[in-house]
Amino acid sequence: MSRRTSRPRAATPRITPAAPCPCGLPATYGDCCGRFHSGTAAAPTCEALMRSRYAAFVVQDAAYLLRTWHPETRPPAVDFDPALRWTGLEILDTAEGSAFHTTGTVTFRAHYTDDGRPDSLHEKSRFTRHEGAWVYATAVFVD
């Protein structure tokens, strides 16, 4: 997901615990991805981690994104493009990634607007367990 830094920063989007979760599941942010972001729970599957990472891009939670990125592929920082607004997530496919696996993949399409122009990112992300927790490792862009 975008890490461009050429435009001035905008305010972090405000999402309350009672708001619908940006990941698209029928739950509140506090009961869904918000609990992963706060550290009170860990994502039990790679799909849950993918959804929570998407939600972290929506709420601009760089600390969570870095914490859930494999140390071998983690960038030094995450910069958010202020003209970009994430508008929806579609999970297209998952392979492995359950409590019984050590690796998994999630293919998804993340919708966004860039300066008001709609677009999407189609990606197959690979996840692995690191020190017992699911982390994002690498991605292949499908489109």
78-111 residue pLDDT tens: 999 999 999 999 999 999 999 899 999 999 999 9
pLDDT at 14: 77
d(CA 22, CA 33): 8
pLDDT at 48: 98
pTM, two decimal places: 0.89
d(CA 19, CA 121): 24
The stretches in the chain having pLDDT less than 70 are 1-13, 143
Provide the 10 A C-beta neighbour count for residue 85: 16
pLDDT at 141: 79
